[in-house]
Amino acid sequence: MNAIISAPDLASALAGGDPPVLLDIRWQLSAAKAAGAPPFDGRAAYAAGHLPGAVYVDLDRELAAPPGTGGRHPLPDPEEFGAVMRRAGVSAGRPVVVYDGGQGWAAARAWWLLRWTGHPDVRVLDGGLPAWQGPLSADEPRPAPGDFAPAPAADGLLDADGAAALARSGLLLDARAGERYRGEVEPIDPVGGHIPGAVSAPTSENVTADGRFRPAAELRARFAGLGATGDTEVGVYCGSGVSAAHEVLALAVAGIPAALYVGSWSQWSADPERPVAVGPDPR
């Protein structure tokens, strides 16, 4: 099953006999506050207009646990996550489509969490809300409760030790901007640089100027050039496990399975015992 869906295909699915559950995950990185900009209010954006029938889900509060030793966006408690999904109408036997404001990171986080906890049919709206050509609604739906019960997978998730090992034995991709990987700037976390052995692979290079994913063949070629061959185990990290989920999604579009290090650089860099590499070379 394709991990993404186009806006025309979503419109057709919504008009069919088994329409998907829609989740609105609009969110922006809070680092904008450091420049004096007010924090982004996803709920206000949702209230101003969303896909008809879509339920708003708060990434910071409902798709992550509070910041701490696990990083800025640790995994949510599975039971609490399941309760949020059921309130949104999510059931195991009904497809789900998630979208955000167009960047794709937040929607990918929801996609990854649902897939990792066992939902069989989740897709991301390619290009997010800006790609949608249909009507919007300001009405907040009250869906019938769903029956989704999270069952986290035994694989697909990395901790810090697992990420360090994969950087040596397989391919660990760093989805952040290149200047953060190289340690030239670090606007959020305690120190700049990267996990030794990780390869720079900015997630921004997986999409076109309008935020849509590049064709699968282009993505396969890109990841092959970074070392993702058929027999290579692949993992991804970023700042706090959000943009890395978008890179895991891009890898899925390319047909390449990958694990996610959710703690990512926000957890790694906060531990003084963890080594840090700087510069363009992985090591």
Whether the CB-CB separation of 96 and 121 falls below 8 Å is answered with yes
Distance separating alpha carbons of residues 184 and 280, to the nearest angstrom: 10
Whether the CB-CB separation of 45 and 26 falls below 8 Å is answered with yes
Query: DSSP class of residue 32?
Result: G
HSE value, Cβ hemisphere, 13 Å, CA-based, for 32: 9
Q: Annotated catalytic sites, by residue? A: 238
